[in-house]
Amino acid sequence: MDGPVPELAECASACAERLGDADSVLLASHIDADGLTSAAVAASALERASIPFDTVFSKQLDESEIAAIAATDHDTVLFTDFGSGQLDLIAEREAAGAFTPVVADHHRPADAETEFHLNPLLFGVDGASELSGAGASYALARALETDGVDNRDLAALAVVGAVGDMQGSNGGLTGANERIVEEGVEAGVLEAARDLALYGRQTRPLPKLLEYASDVRIPGISNDEAGTIAFLSDLDLDLKEGGEWRRWIDLSGEERRTVVSALVQRAVASGVPASRIDSLVGTTYTLTTEEEGTELRDVSEFSTLLNATARYERADVGLAVCLGNRDGALDAARALLRNHRRNLSEGLRWVKTEGVTVEEHVQWFDAGTRIRETIVGIIAGMAVGANGISPRLPIVAFAEKSDEEVKVSARGSRVLTRQGLDLSAVMREASRAVGGDGGGHDVAAGATISNGEQRAFVEHADRLVGEQLDG
């Protein structure tokens, strides 16, 4: 069965066969939205194939984590949404007979090989934009199908992972991801449509939907509560029900078109660039089996909910939500999301107040203990373009993991990657130069280094980025 990613089909079949022959499987996965959905897709497929397994999560797969995994005494370890970048360390354990690795990942591989390595980059598919970790897990899930089992319903989670990993564009998911969408539509679990491409279409009242929209900033509306209410009140529409503002999903098609048209007119009159105006409308993805008006119905809102769980040491909650727990786990996830939003707001406020240090080729800040290390990368990405923080330079952010270790997160842009920027290589080389390790994607990557090595790390990163961009 070729599945949605025919390039990976033969490798996926070999990986599935190994898992089926295993005496004991450990599923090890990353903790972000893509990692959680990768784990959920893999867990569902393993269960349906009657393959027993245990599950562990990790914020970062390093030598100590791999040693802990080896100590669990499973003969086969399935790594999802990480493993490729640490393949050299994994291969050492495999050579020592600790376990047989099966890797379903999409990050840039380390310079090592293993037999069961399911990564789109090895087959000419872009792992940063065309297939996420959850997509690689989905290709494996399709290969794990047995008689009477159809895993195409897992396409919904794979799309949540891709969107959570910032893949695709305003035009929607592309490449292998697009084929996964098609399978989800065929299975009746997904719907793709052109609609207002703002976060919160399912859950936010209209004024908050427009006020908090950050991708397209419209003067007099964005970050302006009074201006947003005035804008909506001037429209010849009844946008309240029982005295409460309606949500986007409550509007008819004609009402939606009226709001979008007025938004575009306001943006044009305010001098917003045409490229930004065009991104007001894009391809949106709806999970048709989820309750309307909830965070789980919209792919973007679902992925944000998941990000708010494992980043606060509650990967179990995120996984439970992915696997269908709509009672206690969902309530816990919503509470974590409220806390997550507060922390993001406070962290972003700190960065805007303190600013960044600008080098020749990178800009950076060291949050110390002021920002949680699991969200410092998100905040770094949100800060770009605000308060003099230039989008023309990649941004590097530090936050303490412990007294001894520091988390490094780096974010760039597609404009810079087209010019040669590869933050995965920068993070790996700069961190190893100071005794740490790292990796990721060309546009977003991370590392762990020893506390006190920040300045030396920046010097290496600045030089490496300069070499890439000058080249």
pLDDT in tens, 392-410: 999 999 999 999 999 999 9
Structure confidence at residue 327 (pLDDT): 83
Average pLDDT, the chain: 94
> Mind listing the pLDDT tens digit for each residue in 87-117?
999 999 999 999 999 999 999 899 999 999 9
Instruction: Identify the CA nearest to 14 among candidates 117, 99, 92.
Output: 117
Is domain 355-470 annotated with CATH 1.10.645.10? no
pLDDT at 381 over 80: yes
Phi-psi region of 97 (alpha: psi -120 to 50; beta: other; left: phi over 0): left
**Mean pLDDT throughout 175-201?**
96
Structure confidence at residue 171 (pLDDT): 77
Instruction: Name the pLDDT band for 81 (thresholds 50, 70, 90).
Output: very high
Instruction: Name the pLDDT band for 203 (thresholds 50, 70, 90).
Output: very high
Instruction: Name the pLDDT band for 222 (thresholds 50, 70, 90).
Output: confident
Instruction: Identify the CA nearest to 85 among candidates 447, 467, 381.
Output: 447
Structure confidence at residue 1 (pLDDT): 59
> Mind listing the pLDDT tens digit for each residue in 245-260?
999 999 999 999 999 9
Q: Point out the least confidently predicted range of 54-63, 220-229, 273-282, 448-457.
A: 273-282
Give strand pairing partners of 29. 57, 80
**Mean pLDDT throughout 134-149?**
96
Instruction: Name the pLDDT band for 226 (thresholds 50, 70, 90).
Output: very high
**Mean pLDDT throughout 187-212?**
95
**Mean pLDDT throughout 219-226?**
90
Q: Where in the chain is the domain with CATH 3.10.310.40?
A: 355-470
For 468, which DSSP code? H
Structure confidence at residue 29 (pLDDT): 97
Q: How far apart are CA 173 and CA 281, in angstroms?
A: 14
**Mean pLDDT throughout 167-180?**
90
Instruction: Name the pLDDT band for 471 (thresholds 50, 70, 90).
Output: low
Instruction: Name the pLDDT band for 235 (thresholds 50, 70, 90).
Output: very high
Q: Where in the chain is the domain with CATH 3.90.1640.30?
A: 6-162+176-185
Instruction: Identify the CA nearest to 99 among candidates 111, 80, 115, 119.
Output: 115
> Mind listing the pLDDT tens digit for each residue in 303-361?
999 999 988 989 999 999 999 998 899 999 999 999 999 999 999 999 999 999 999 99
Structure confidence at residue 361 (pLDDT): 97
Residues 309, 315 contacting (CB under 8 angstroms): yes
In order of 94, 154, 163, 460, the CA distances from 374 in angstroms are 29, 27, 19, 23
Instruction: Name the pLDDT band for 389 (thresholds 50, 70, 90).
Output: confident
In order of 26, 85, 109, 144, 396, the CA distances from 121 in angstroms are 24, 12, 8, 21, 25
Residues 175, 141 contacting (CB under 8 angstroms): no
Q: What's the CATH architecture for 6-162+176-185?
A: Alpha-Beta Complex (3.90)
> Mind listing the pLDDT tens digit for each residue in 30-51?
999 999 999 999 999 999 999 9
Instruction: Name the pLDDT band for 386 (thresholds 50, 70, 90).
Output: low
Give strand pairing partners of 80. 29, 104
Structure confidence at residue 387 (pLDDT): 66
C-alpha torsion angle, residues 331, 335, 337, 342 (rounded to 10): 170
Within its chain, how far is the Cα of 228 from the centroid? 30
